[in-house]
Amino acid sequence: MRFNLLNGFIYQRFFPECKLMLYFMNSTAKLLERRAMIVKMLVVGPFASNCYIVGSSSTKEGMIIDPGAEAGTILRTVQQTGLSISLIVVTHAHIDHVGALRSVQEKTNAEFALHEAEKGLLLTAPMRMLTSLGLSPIKSPPQPDRLLKDGDSIEIGDLHFEVLHTPGHSSGGISLSGHGVVFSGDTLFNFGIGRTDFPGCSHERLMKSIREKLMVLPDETIVYPGHGPLTTIGDERRGNPFLR
């Protein structure tokens, strides 16, 4: 069991043995390989945020989702995958998802994209959180090269993802859906949901986003959340206590 301070949720997966989780993750990796998609998950920073490196195994084009911290680790992993990073997508502008954004963009020269409703928070929200938590400052995030909206398409080589506007945890929060997976940011977790006690948060909007944008996906859809272990839409539909 691990407590994530910023997210305010105790992550507990009801697996009796770690081996079962490793089996599940390895099986998932094999499934993604068959779909010609590379997904590397890195747990970074003091808030244990999930950063994802996603790319096409055939074209070797890729993107980074939520570079929250540890730019060096992220960049080394990119090098190991052999991917050429053309895009960085941020699911929302909280510090634990943008902490390494500028450093990673400077090294990759990738475009940076986030939802249009999140642009105003980009320079204020991360610094406000750092101050409130007494943490060291970071390089200020860059301005976005692309503003996203609900229904937009993101293309990475031969991979295609749909932008789902999923506000609630943040006004411009997004999820990315495609190829049987969804990157849910801090909207939906493994048996949990995002916290809604920050400025600009709304529990009602969060629940509406989950029910109308995520729970309509097929049960077998793999969920890659912003914190904690992966899950599936079916598991969350059946067992997430916040969705009952």
Q: Where are the domains of the chain?
A: 35-243
Please identify which residue in the block is written with the tokens 């079962």. Answer: 20
Structure tokens at 233: 């839409």
Q: If pLDDT is split at 50, 70 and 90, which confidence band does 235 have? A: very high
Q: What is the pLDDT of residue 1?
A: 35
Q: What is the pLDDT of residue 139?
A: 75
Structure tokens at 98: 């943008």
Q: What separation in angstroms does the CA of 12 have from each of 15, 37, 188, 206, 232?
A: 9, 28, 14, 21, 15
Amino acid at 129: M
Rounded-to-integer distance, Cα 236 and Cα 230, Å: 11
Structure tokens at 8: 């305010």
Rounded-to-integer distance, Cα 233 and Cα 164, Å: 15
Q: Considering the entire predicted model, what is its pTM?
A: 0.84
Residue 12 has pLDDT above 80, yes or no: no
Q: Is residue 85 within 8 Å of residue 63, measured between CB atoms?
A: yes
The CATH class for the domain spanning 35-243 reads: alpha beta
Residue 156 has pLDDT above 50, yes or no: yes
Q: What does the pLDDT look like over 18-65, one tens digit per residue? A: 434 444 454 555 455 445 899 999 999 999 999 999 999 999 999 999
Residue 87 has pLDDT above 70, yes or no: yes
Q: If pLDDT is split at 50, 70 and 90, which confidence band does 81 have? A: very high
